[in-house]
C-alpha cells in the first residue's frame, strides 16, 4: 500500500496501525504530508516553516528502526506539526511577531523532545496569534490562517493555536501541538471541527516554551480523534526538569473502563441563563450530544453556575494581562513597538496592575476556585458548548471582544482540564463543539467521555470537502 492509497485524513492511530502492520512506510506518509502542505498551504497559511529535509530523514530513520524490530511505539513514524511557540533547536521561534529575532534556538522544547523520543516526525512549525494572546486566530503581522471549513468566505480559525487547528482539519498533518492559556487549544478545535485537549498545568512540561502567562499556560494536542489526543497526551506527560509544576505530579493512567459505557458518571450542565448567548444551532447540537451521553448511561443534571461566565472571563483576562506584561512588556512597552496594536493593548493593560492589585486578583482566583469546587461537588465533569458561536467571517471580527472565551477561560482560572470534541456541522458546514471540563489531573476522565461519544457516533471528525482532493 502506498501513501496515495491512504486518506489524507487518516488519524494518527490509523497510521500507527498501518505502520505496525508493515503496510506503509513513514517515508511515504511523511512525503505525502509534505506534498499536501506544498499544494494547499499557499492558500491556508497554516505553516511558518516546513522542515522537509529533516522530516524525511527522521521518517527514514523510523522505518529503519521498525525493520530492525526497534520501534519506539505506536506513534513511531507518524508526522505532526508544532505551534511557533515551541523552541526547536536550529530554528527561530518568532511567536507570530516581528519583535523577536530570527536567531536559531539552542534548545528544543520538552513536548517536542518527548514526541521525538516516541518516534514522531516533526514536519514544521505553524502559525499562532502574536505571542499567543488572542482567541480569534487572527494575525495581522505574519498572516491569518484560513479556516478550511469555508473556502468561499474567510472565517476565523480560532486561536491562538490557529495554524495547528487549520493544519489538522485540512488534512496536512494528523496531529499538532498547541498551547492553551484561556482557550487557545479548544477555540481552534471548535472553530475547525477537530479535537483539542487542554491539560492541567503540570501535566506536560513547558520547558522550551515561550511564556505568555505562567499561571495559565498549558500544552496539549490537537487531533482528528479522541483516541489520538489520548496517545499524544500519554507520550508528552511527565516530569520536565525545566518546569517545576511537573514535579511530583502522578503519572498518567488512562481509563480502563469499557469505552462504550458511561454508567455511573454524573455530569453537570449549566442552567439556561448561563447558555443565553449561545447560538441556537450550537445549542441544538449541544443538546444532541447530551442525549447521546445519556444513552451511554451518564446521569446529566442542570445546575446554574455560581457566577456568570463573563465574570470568570474578566478575572482571567486581568490576570493574563498582568502576567503577560511581566513576560512580554519589553517587546510591547516601547512607543515604537513592532507588536500589533490589538495585541499590544492586551499586554499594556498589565502595566497598570501593580503588586497589590495582582495579589488581590490572586485572592479572587482562590475564592472563585473554592466556590467552583463546591458547585461541582458530586459531579464528575461539567459539560458546556466549547464556543457559543459559529466561526464568524474575518471581516466581522471585533478584536476588542472575546466571546470565544465564554466557556473556556473559567477552565484555566479554576486550574481544570478540558477536552473539546466536535458535535457536528450546521448551516453551510460550519462546526460546533462540546467541552468536557474535569477537575485537575483528571484528563483521563474527559478522554473517556469523549471517546465513548466518538465510538457511539462512529467518529466525530468530518473532513472539509474543499480539501479532500490530493
Just list the catalytic residues: 83, 160, 184
- Torsion, Cα 95 99 104 109, to 10 degrees, reads -30
* Phi, psi of 50, deg, nearest 5: -115, 125
Peptide bond into 160 cis (omega under 30): yes
CB-CB contact of 309 with 412 (8 Å): no
Q: What is the DSSP letter of 312?
A: H
Beta-sheet strands, E only, within 348-429: 381-385, 417-426
Given the DSSP bridges, would you call strands 417-426 and 218-223 parallel, antiparallel or unpaired? unpaired
Question: CA geometry: angle at 123 spanning 119 and 129, to 5°?
Answer: 120
CB-CB contact of 230 with 13 (8 Å): no
Cell numbers describing residue 45: 497559511
User: What count of residues does the chain have?
Assistant: 470
CB-CB contact of 459 with 422 (8 Å): no
* Phi, psi of 234, deg, nearest 5: -65, -35
Residue recorded with cell 496515495: 4
Residue recorded with cell 464568524: 392
Three-state DSSP at 135 gives coil
Sheet holding 47-50, edge to edge: 47-50, 121-126, 79-83, 175-180, 218-223, 195-198, 417-426, 430-438, 381-385, 266-269, 299-302
Burial class (CB in 10 A: 0-12, 13-18, 19+), 367: exposed
Cα 67 from chain centroid (whole Å)? 34
Three-state DSSP at 409 gives helix
Cα 184 from chain centroid (whole Å)? 6
CB-CB contact of 211 with 217 (8 Å): yes
CB-CB contact of 192 with 149 (8 Å): yes
CB-CB contact of 132 with 97 (8 Å): no
Phi-psi region of 257 (alpha: psi -120 to 50; beta: other; left: phi over 0): beta
Cell numbers describing residue 231: 496517545
Three-state DSSP at 200 gives coil
Amino acid at each position: 500500500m502506498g501513501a496515495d492509497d491512504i486518506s489524507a485524513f487518516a488519524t494518527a492511530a490509523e497510521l500507527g496501525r498501518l505502520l505496525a502492520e508493515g503496510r506503509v512506510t513513514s517515508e511515504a506518509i511523511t512525503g505525502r504530508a509534505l506534498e499536501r502542505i506544498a499544494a494547499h498551504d499557499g492558500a491556508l497559511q497554516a505553516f511558518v516553516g516546513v522542515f522537509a529535509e529533516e522530516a524525511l530523514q527522521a521518517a527514514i530513520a523510523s522505518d529503519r528502526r521498525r525493520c530492525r524490530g526497534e520501534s519506539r511505539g505506536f506513534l513511531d513514524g507518524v508526522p505532526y506539526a508544532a505551534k511557533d511557540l515551541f523552541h526547536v533547536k536550529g530554528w527561530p521561534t518568532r511567536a507570530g511577531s516581528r519583535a523577536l529575532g530570527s536567531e536559531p534556538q539552542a534548545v528544543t522544547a520538552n513536548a517536542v523532545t518527548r514526541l521525538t523520543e516516541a518516534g514522531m516526525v516533526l514536519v514544521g512549525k505553524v502559525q499562532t496569534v502574536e505571542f499567543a494572546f488572542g482567541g480569534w486566530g487572527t494575525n495581522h503581522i505574519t498572516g491569518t490562517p484560513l479556516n478550511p471549513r469555508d473556502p468561499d468566505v474567510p472565517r476565523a480559525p480560532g486561536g491562538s493555536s490557529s495554524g495547528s487547528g487549520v493544519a489538522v482539519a485540512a488534512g496536512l498533518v494528523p496531529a499538532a501541538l498547541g498551547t492553551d492559556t484561556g482557550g487557545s487549544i479548544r477555540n481552534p478545535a471548535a472553530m475547525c471541527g477537530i479535537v483539542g485537549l487542554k491539560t492541567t498545568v503540570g501535566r506536560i512540561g513547558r520547558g522550551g516554551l515561550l511564556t505568555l502567562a505562567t499561571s495559565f499556560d498549558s500544552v496539549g494536542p490537537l487531533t482528528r480523534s479522541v483516541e489520538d489526543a489520548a496517545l499524544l497526551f500519554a507520550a508528552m506527560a511527565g516530569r520536565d526538569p525545566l518546569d517545576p509544576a511537573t514535579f511530583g505530579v502522578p503519572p498518567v493512567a488512562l481509563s480502563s473502563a469499557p469505552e462504550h459505557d458511561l454508567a455511573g458518571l454524573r455530569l453537570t450542565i449549566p442552567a439556561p441563563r448561563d447558555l443565553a448567548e449561545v447560538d441556537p444551532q450550537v445549542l441544538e447540537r449541544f443538546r444532541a450530544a447530551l442525549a447521546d451521553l445519556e444513552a451511554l448511561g451518564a446521569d446529566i443534571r442542570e445546575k446554574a453556575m455560581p457566577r456568570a461566565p463573563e465574570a470568570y472571563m474578566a478575572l482571567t483576562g486581568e490576570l493574563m494581562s498582568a502576567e503577560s506584561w511581566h513576560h512580554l512588556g519589553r517587546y510591547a512597552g516601547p512607543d515604537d513597538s513592532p507588536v500589533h496594536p490589538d495585541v499590544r493593548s492586551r499586554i499594556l493593560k498589565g502595566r497598570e496592575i501593580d503588586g497589590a492589585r495582582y495579589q488581590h486578583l490572586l485572592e479572587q482566583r482562590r475564592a472563585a476556585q473554592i466556590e467552583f469546587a463546591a458547585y461541582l461537588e458530586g459531579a464528575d465533569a461539567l459539560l458546556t458548548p466549547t464556543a457559543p458561536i459559529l466561526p464568524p467571517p474575518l471581516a466581522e471580527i471585533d478584536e476588542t471582544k472575546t466571546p470565544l472565551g465564554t466557556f473556556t477561560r473559567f477552565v484555566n482560572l479554576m486550574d481544570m482540564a478540558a477536552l473539546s470534541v466536535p458535535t457536528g456541522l450546521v448551516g453551510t458546514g460550519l462546526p460546533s463543539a462540546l467541552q468536557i471540563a474535569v477537575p485537575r489531573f483528571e484528563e483521563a476522565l474527559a478522554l473517556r467521555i469523549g471517546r465513548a461519544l466518538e465510538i457511539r457516533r462512529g467518529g466525530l471528525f468530518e473532513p472539509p470537502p474543499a480539501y479532500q482532493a490530493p
